[in-house]
Amino acid sequence: MQTLLIAAGAGIAFIIAYCTYGRWLGKKVFNLAADVVCPSERFRDDKDYIPTSKPIVFGHHFTSIAGTGPIVGPAIAVMWGWLPALLWVVFGSIFIGAVHDFGALVVSLRNNGQTVGDVAGRVLNKRVRLLFLFVLLMALTIVLAIFGLVIAAVFKKYPAAIFPCLIQIPIAVTIGLYLYRKGVKLFFPSIIALMAMYLAVIYGDQGLLGDLNGWMKSWSIMTWVIVLLVYSYVASVLPVWTLLQPRDYINSLQLLTALALIVAGMAWAAVAGGAPPFEGAAAPKLEIVAPMWNFTPEAAPMIFPFLFITIACGAISGFHCLVSSGTSSKQLTKEPDAKFVGFGGMLTEGFLATLVILACVAGLGLGIVGTEGKVLLGEDAWASRYSSWTAASGLAAKVGAFVDGAANFLKAIGLQSKVAIALMGVLVASFAGTTLDTACRLQRYVVQELAATFLGGPDEVGSSRHASRKLFATQNGQITGNPLTWLRNKHGATIFAIIIAGLMAATPAAPGKPAGTGGLILWPMFGATNQLLGGLSFLVILFYLWRRQKPIFFVVPPLIFMLIMPAWAMCWQLFEEGVGMETSWLAASSPNWILIVIAIATLVLELWMIIEALLLMPKIRGVLEPEITSVVTESSQ
């Protein structure tokens, strides 16, 4: 019963926060108004800017921000105890993550749908904008390089998830065409799509479909990376209503109903016990089998600051500011919808992370099959997955702990084991897939913004357009002697993004590792970089409010926290031993100099931006940033 009470308590806390804190932010701080014309209407081009109903935008936003972060992070952070992980998820989501996502979304709405990096150039200064864009470029390159590996690993471990994930694409395109061109209502297409996707989960691994899954399971990691990057290119350059919006929306339906099934299974298991692990066995009791806290698990880094880096998306993630300001802000039809999408989307993700924690610390105890084929229950099941930090830190171990624990909840309400595991595998792969294609679109915007800065002229980013300072010689308004002008074009920028990510992925992570694992080279610093991005996004939100003489007391503590924790973690990994690895990065027998140089450069960029902000802050209270003087929509170019 304790497990169910924790889930219910977290859910109630999120609802109360949405109705109180979220409402206060929307009405008293951001002054959201329903009669304001949003960028989706003002710059409508039916490609990046398109007015969209609130449920569809929520579906896109939620599935894009979630990814595998709220699954992988909590699934390993429970090593420090389920209570620290739970407290960080609940309070972090409410007071840091939701404020961050909501604030970034509103700031972008008020700046013609500009990305938060572009807004930084106006509310702070042009140097900060450029530094911010370089951080975004690096972070998104790592995401694109690593997520092919993540999805390939999930498909290899759970091949029954392959066809259900593939079938989402034609279903999404069909839904998009009907909604956009036929103007049909949303309800019936949603029901039909949801039924089709669940039928794919139930029957998608039988007969010829099972053979297809088996064949695709045998693909190499690099093959998956290439296929997924090509798909990301197509999804990035197509109008959002064609694939991105409907795929994310129908994914959200499947994922949210799956979460509802997990809660239902948890409730039933709390009352009647889990499904008998073998024929003739009694129903195992649902209870938390992991320690409440364990600040020194074997071979693990110290809880401070690494808990707050390990659990990112489930509490606060810098990547979210890119989704809020990169795509979601271009689709909202009314300003008040920002609270539902930004604040509500983050709280929903927080609830997902809560369920992940409970699946790992209680669901596993309902029974798993050990390495020797023996059924393990209770603390034995927990110990088999979490004997040490090293044993729990691999991707397969983290995803597997959640999938097996959550599947036990589903089996408690009568789902077959094969179907339950397939559904959870689809959930993980679908979250990763929606994040991948959204990240590619966001990277396209970043490349175009940087190209506009260095090459001059109006960019073609799906945001407000502005004439950038020309850094190259021009003749009659055209850039001369520079072959890189194609980077301002959406196709050129997207091709550049996937080529860079593909080259990084193709580099083996280490001797003996296959092609496709290159994203792992920089992955050790992604958590800190991602959280640092959240702190920098808070900096933009703070300056936006400061210039308008709005209250900032609720932004300052999260800002300081999210600047200190990532920098602390990165410095510790660079210079100190005993951080969950054999030695520090600099003291390693074969130092990864690419990782080291980029990590030091990131810390320098952070310090530089903080100094710029401190010098500027006393001068601009009550002074509005310059107006956007030139706006050109993509459709008019």
Domain ranges within the chain, ordered by starting residue: 2-471+479-636
Contact 457, 251 (CB under 8 A): no
Residue 117 has a pLDDT of 87
Give 96's pLDDT tier (boundaries 50, 70, 90). very high
- In this prediction, residue 409 carries a pLDDT of 97
Report the distance separating Cα 525 and Cα 529, nearest Å: 6
Tell whether the model's pLDDT for residue 464 goes beyond 50.
no
Per DSSP, which regions of 539-610 are E strands?
none
- Is 474 in a helix, a strand, or coil? strand
| Domain boundaries 2-471+479-636, corresponding CATH code | 1.20.1740.10
Residues in the chain, overall count = 637
Mapped onto helix, strand or coil, the DSSP state of residue 547 is helix
Q: What is the DSSP letter of 332?
A: B
* Residue 572 contacts residue 304 (beta carbons within 8 Å): no
Q: Which of 495-509, 532-546, 566-580 has the lowest mean pLDDT?
A: 566-580
pLDDT at 565: 95
The span from the CA of 82 to the CA of 71, in Å, is 14
pLDDT for the residue numbered 189: 86
> Binning pLDDT at 50, 70 and 90, where does residue 415 land?
very high
pLDDT of 408 > 70? The answer is: yes
Which H or E run contains 457?
strand 457-458
Tokens of 265: 């299974």
Alpha carbon distance 581, 568 (integer Å): 17
User: Average of pLDDT values for 125-140?
Assistant: 86
Pick from 182-186, 541-545, 548-552, 632-636: least confident = 632-636
Whole-number pLDDT of residue 455:
72
> What does each C-alpha distance from 78 to 81, 310, 317, 565 come to in angstroms?
5, 10, 18, 19
Task: Give the predicted TM-score (pTM) of the model.
Answer: 0.92
pLDDT band at 136 (very low <50, low <70, confident <90, very high): confident
Tokens representing 481 are 């002697």
At 460, the pLDDT band (50, 70, 90 cuts) reads: very low
Q: Which residues pair with 475 in a beta bridge?
A: 478
Whole-number pLDDT of residue 633: 38
Burial of 320-340, coded b for 16+ CB within 10 Å and e otherwise, reads bbbbbbbbbbbbbbbbebbbb
CA dihedral 91, 97, 99, 104 (to 10 degrees): 180
Residue that is written with structure tokens 């109006």 in the block? 458
Q: Do the beta carbons of residue 465 and residue 633 sit within 8 Å?
A: yes
Average pLDDT over residues 300-312: 91
Token representation of residue 475? 């003749």
- The residue among 623 and 464 whose pLDDT is bigger is 623
pLDDT of 511 strictly over 90: no
Buried b (16+ CB within 10 A) or exposed e, 34-45: eeeebbbeebbb
What is the residue whose two structure tokens read 């395109």? 173
The pLDDT mean for the chain works out to 88
pLDDT tens figures, 45-64: 999 999 999 999 999 999 99
- The residue ranking higher by pLDDT, 172 or 483, is 172
Judged against a pLDDT cut of 80, whether residue 330 lies above it is answered with: yes
CA dihedral sign, ordered 112, 113, 117, 118: negative
